[in-house]
Amino acid sequence: MRPYRRLSRKWIGILTALLTAMLLSGCAFGATIDTLLVPPRLSGEQEQIYQALQNAVGKDIKLQYPKTGDYLSAFILADFDGDREEESLVFYQKTGLSAVENNLRMNVLDKRGETWMSVCDVPAVGAEIERVMISPIGQRTETRIAVGYSVVDQSDRALVVYDYANGTLTQSFASPYSLFDIHDLDGNGTQELLIFRSDSSMGNALAMVYAPDAEDQFRKTQLALRSSCTGFSQVLYSRQEDGSAIVYADMLTGVTTMQTELIRYDGTKMHHVLEDESAASETNRSVSCLTLDIDGDGTPEIPVQTVFPGYEGTASDQNIRLTRWMVAEGSRLREKYRGYYSVSEGYAFMMPEQWRENVTAVSDGLTGDIVFYHYTGSLTEPMQELLRIGTASDRESRDSRLGEGYRLLRSRGNAYYFMYPVESTDPLCLPESDLMGCFLFVNG
């Protein structure tokens, strides 16, 4: 048990001011965090839609927001029925209902002249909205509304695809899911619905493609993935010469580990990209190392981590991790880059070709720099320093680094990235211009 600590006069004053402000603003002591949070300010058009919604369903409502995806607003504006005019889809909860009722609903509003009006109101099939996608699927050109719901404690999820026409929302498809996406998988110009499911009762996880035919029947093709998993983090794609896509699915294999499965869809069947069944296990890594197209060439790279030379057999918390960036080449994985990757700082240093087998990295406990050395067989023996990489999080630290001769590579907000090249006759010492081209930054 932590010992009782007496509040200082400073904190007593702050708490008194906060309590006074709450009382003056009418806040009750029983208020929850949700009641104290201020919702996002609505735009002019959103305010009009909100007023129209309240006129239709009452004022005892609370707007709901999708958690992920491109649509993160409670108000989704799009042309749902192909009339070249935008409608608005709004998610909301009715307040004051009993606990056994599902109070999440969705409402479609249409603009009649200059006035928004509610034209359709239906109950949702889940407790929260995970993701919304607005896109045609299959041979129909009309836009569909795909909504992923969490059902029970966010552990169960349900996907529902709606069609909207003549003021009515109609369910055209529903399925349990762990992760879903809409993409042109076979390169034929139409989009398919891709669903991944992880369920302990099923054994290995499943990948499923639903391709609506000319009669709008959702034809199903599925593939058992080679590994069991507890969930999926994301899905990315690369485009092949024939226009079809390779799907990179990052799947959770444990609390702290993940790996990537690669699959493709040829318009009829789904296939594993890697012929070797053990290849997927070669991508096993920390959950923080998501697949990403780090060099922006259209092909995702899988960051698989091992150790730099000299750390073999040492305790993991002492290791500096070496990252091998893997891509699919035919039916195998090929190492595209090798180097140091800082997930938390958002940058990667791709080692020059001549460094790959001859350089190791050490963390400088004093400065926090990552220091690269010409490795000669032992970390305890003297080694030639080749390069330092450092960061700073404020202007004072930035100026200090600049005064010490560091080169500023990139600034992003309050984050500053530096390198300090070393001049030496060592054959692995490279010009500053060559080293600067080895840095890649994540998310801008």
pLDDT at 104 over 60: yes
pLDDT score of 28 more than 80: no
Cβ-count burial of 267 within 10 angstroms (0-12 exposed, 13-18 middle, 19+ buried)?
middle
Q: What is the pLDDT of residues 354-389, one digit of tens each?
A: 999 999 999 999 999 999 999 999 998 999 999 999
Per-residue pLDDT at 202: 59
Judged against a pLDDT cut of 60, whether residue 79 lies above it is answered with yes
pLDDT band at residue 20 under the 50/70/90 scheme: very low
Residue 201 has a pLDDT of 62
Q: What is the mean pLDDT of residues 180-184?
A: 98
Mean pLDDT, the chain, rounded, equals 87
Structure tokens at 301: 């790279």
227: tokens are 């590994």
DSSP one-letter code for 401: H
Give the mean pLDDT of 414-422: 94
The pLDDT of residue 194: 98
Cα dist. 372→179, 351, 363, 364 in Å? Answer: 40, 10, 9, 10
Contact 77, 86 (CB under 8 A): yes
188 close to 235: Cβ distance less than 8 angstroms: no
Query: How crowded is the C-beta side of 292, counted as CA atoms within 13 Å?
Result: 15
In this structure, the chain runs to a length of 444
User: Is pLDDT of 8 > 60?
Assistant: no
Tell me: the pLDDT tens digits for 272-285?
999 877 777 889 99
Instruction: Retrieve residue 13's tokens.
Output: 């004053």
Are 63 and 51 in contact by the 8 Å Cβ rule? The answer is no
Query: What proportion of the chain, given as a percentage, has pLDDT over 90?
Result: 70
Q: Which residue has the higher pLDDT, 31 or 232?
A: 232
pLDDT of 157 above 70 = yes
Reply yes or no on whether the pLDDT at 29 is more than 60.
no
Rounded Cα gap, residues 120 and 171, in angstroms: 13
Tell me what the mean pLDDT of segment 175-187 comes to. Answer: 96
Which one is predicted more confidently, 220 or 3?
Answer: 220
- The pLDDT, as a whole number, for residue 167 is 92
Contact 56, 107 (CB under 8 A): yes
Which pLDDT value is given to residue 27? Answer: 39
* Range name among 57-61, 132-136, 155-159 with the lowest pLDDT average: 155-159
> Cα separation of 143 and 191, whole Å?
11
